[in-house]
Structure 1
Amino acid sequence: MKRSVLLIAFVFAAVAGVSAQGYKVGDVATDFKLKNVDNKMVSLADFPTAKGFIVVFTCNHCPYAKAYEQRIVALDKKYKAKGYPVIAINPNDPAALPADSFEEMQKRAKEAGFTFPYLFDDGQKVYPVYGATRTPHVFLLQKTKKGNIVRYIGAIDDNYEDASAVKTPYLANAVDALLSGKKVSPDFTKAIGCGIKSK
């Protein structure tokens, strides 16, 4: 009995340790350089006029990610012109899930009409730094003199199943708040989606 209790405690501690990693709201997010579906390397520094970034960890295969594709395209079209472009990153290891290979990313971006960079987290080095655990998982960054500050983490909205039934568009509200100089509230929600796949 003691051994099973200890094992359960260890598992909970391990899970807590994983969830404690990554950025929190208010942290400065470091830049990255990842390959886009057009085979060009992309970093946040490539957008000197941006006011911030909508960084979305997403993928090809996940039903949740697919459900949000057109909403992400719409967000990019709306906010890119206002200084907040979408930067999408696929964090999954294609060895664990071939449907999320770079070649499949290229196909998916074309089929879905992505208007934003769709980057491959080769070696899965970026998503753990951010603390992404799901696809999709959003990190809204605001560019400041101190760097790119994390202002919102979590879900895109409150209804992945039906875009027309969304009551609270968390991400859009957060970007609007930043654009109007207001405090983001809520600045954290639970990301709903598929778990990130690794080897």
Structure 2
Amino acid sequence: MKNTLKPFFALLTIVILSSFTYLGGGHGYHIGDTATDFSLENIDGKTVSLSDYKSSKGYIVVFTCNTCPFSVAYEDRIEALNKKYADQGYPVIAIMPNNPEVKPGDSMEAMQARAKAKGFTFPYLMDKGQKIYPQYGATKTPHVYILKKTKKGNVVKYIGAIDDNHQDANAVNNKYVEDAVDALLSGNEIKEKQTRAIGCSIKV
């Protein structure tokens, strides 16, 4: 009997560990956690904090960069999210988490050039010293965290991918971020609170 159970418990351990990794390895924020504010340099040289957005209902925090093909593929969709939801109280706050010494294409100058070329309407902040992305538990670019502003602080309501097709915006079946924000705006429960972020690893 004991020998029969060994393979079962071994498989169970693998499944548990896989799930643990999927949810971010236990590091950073989880659904329902309260996210602390930050103060990061924007591409215009000014410092931006979540608290600057007095009238917002929450935030779409996106960890992204210039050099990752996945992030580049999502640039227009990130811009579209800001245009759709900023006026409804959920602005996009983009944060570049990579070490620019490792990825020169993610320097502040490169960020400024990319934002100008693409016409970004959202703040594009540098996580200088790479202190913020570990707090969130971000591991990929892009990696999204939707926060809802409440009396107790900015509560994490969604973590993961923007949608289910990074290759083709026209072939998307599930718009995770849009569905989550729409649910928050209508006062409904978010159906998928966490998905797997697909992208490049953050460079340290």
Q: Pick from 115, 119, 123 the counterpart of residue 113 of structure 1.
A: 119
Q: Percent identity?
A: 61
Equivalent runs, 1:46-85 vs 2, <5 Å: 46-85=52-91
Give, in angstroms, the shift of residue 148 of structure 1.
0.3
One-letter amino acid of the structure 2 residue matched with residue 164 of structure 1:
N
SS in 2 for 1:75: helix
Deviations along 1:148-192, one digit per CA (max 9) or x if unpaired, are 000000000000000000000000000000000011110000000
Match of 1:173 among 176, 179, 189: 179
* Structure 1 unaligned blocks of 5 or more: 1-11
Per-residue CA deviations over 1:30-83 (Å, capped at 9, x if unaligned) read 000000000000000000000000000000010000000000000000000100
- Matched residues, number: 184
Corresponding residue of 1:147: 153
Name the SS for the 2:87 alignment partner. coil
CA apart distance, 1:96: 1.0
Aligned to 1:101: 107
Name the CA distance, whole Å, in 2 between partners of 1:83 and 1:32: 19
Deviation at 1:143, TM superposition (A): 0.2
Select the residue among 93, 96, 107 that pairs with 1:90.
96
Deviations 1:80-128 (A, max 9, x none): 0100000000000011111111110000111111110000000000000
Q: What letter is aligned with 2:183?
A: A
Is residue 43 from structure 1 mapped to residue 49 from structure 2 by the alignment? yes
- AA in 2 matched with 1:115: T
1:183 aligns with 2:198: no
Unpaired runs of 5+ residues, structure 2, are 1-16
Q: Deviations over 1:1-32 (max 9, x none)?
A: xxxxxxxxxxx8xx96x721100000000000
C-alpha root-mean-square deviation of aligned residues, in Å?
1.2
Runs of 4+ in structure 1 displaced over 4 angstroms? none
